[in-house]
Amino acid sequence: MYDPEAVIPSLSNHRVLIVGDLVLDEYLIGQVSRLSREAPVPVLEQTRAQYVPGGAANPAANVQSLGSQALLAGVIGDDEAGRRLYDLLDERGIDLTGVITVPNRPTTQKTRIVAEGAYVFAHHLARVDRLTRDPISGDHERLLCTRIELMTPNVQAILVSDYRLGVVTPLIVETIRHMAAANKALTTVDTQGNLAAFRGFDLLRCNASEAMGYLGAPLKNNRDFEIALMELVASLDARAAIITRGSEGLSCISPAGETLHLPASNRTQVFDVTGAGDVLIAVVTLALAAGYDVLTAAELGNRAAGIAVTRLGNVAVRPEELL
């Protein structure tokens, strides 16, 4: 068992490059007192709006919050959402050298309409996404590769956050793979199902349904997850893997082939599961960069995710909370 008093401070003072799809999360929050006369839908009387970094920007915010330096690489549009997201990240001290603006491409924005007041917890009424899934290409793809090449020699780890919104192209992945090998940087990835693209990464993170989709086999019990983890690392030439299991916690495998099943660290105070996986991969990456083994890193990430789900929206976990 690790000593929290020693482990938590060791997550600071690292440099991590996060590459992926940048998202602005918008929350329109208010109270519902009636149904519309025009249609059977609730009418929200908005009281406030809240904006937080989402997508790949969320693990970057967590790396920064835990005392390390996050360097971010991705794209935003030349629009109000992009400028707002850039400012939010800049205020946190995140290095935005790798963030490029692509004209005529919208900044991905997820708008959640949330009612509070009449409920114990805030209640999500609807979500509206503004996005494109078109892959970046041409000069913008080459420019992003160049920025990644310039930033990699100064980092200990590269974390890829792939929401499959067009930023993590095959050329971007190949650039990361090449630069990580040249600079002996750790590589971790959190992908929404595109596992085959990340062959040779040090650690893969996916959820149970994504693992089932890749392997083509049901996952019903711990033994199923153990077999799945062994097949994942073997077929993708990975050193380690984590499969998150929602309310059932997670399962992971180490480079030595050890498997571990962890129950969810918080099942009674779940407020909002948005971004829990982002928090987990950020903490796991920092723990591995600090020299801890995969099983310890998974335990820390699991506990951090348990903190994140207690609050509305994406959460940047602080060291004192994790301690």
Burial grade of 256 (CB within 10 A; 0-12, 13-18, 19 or more): exposed
Identify the CA nearest to 286 among candidates 194, 203, 176, 180. Answer: 203
Beta strand 259-262 with 250-253: parallel, antiparallel or unpaired? antiparallel
CA 235 to the chain's CA centroid: 23
End-to-end CA distance of the chain: 14
Q: Tokens for 240, please give them.
A: 């380690």
Query: In degrees to the nearest 10, what's the CA dihedral of 200, 201, 206, 209?
Result: -10
DSSP state of 216: T
Residue type, 130: R
Q: Given 202, 224, 278, 293, which residue is catalytic?
A: 278
Identify the CA nearest to 310 among candidates 280, 277, 270. Answer: 270
Bridge partner residues of 259 (DSSP): 253
> Is-catalytic flag, 25?
no
Report the alpha-carbon distance of residue 111 to residue 126 in Å, rounded: 8
Burial grade of 297 (CB within 10 A; 0-12, 13-18, 19 or more): buried
Q: How far is CA 322 from CA 61, 68, 279, 280, 314, in A?
A: 15, 15, 11, 12, 16
H or E segment and range at residue 48: strand 42-55
Catalytically annotated residues = 278
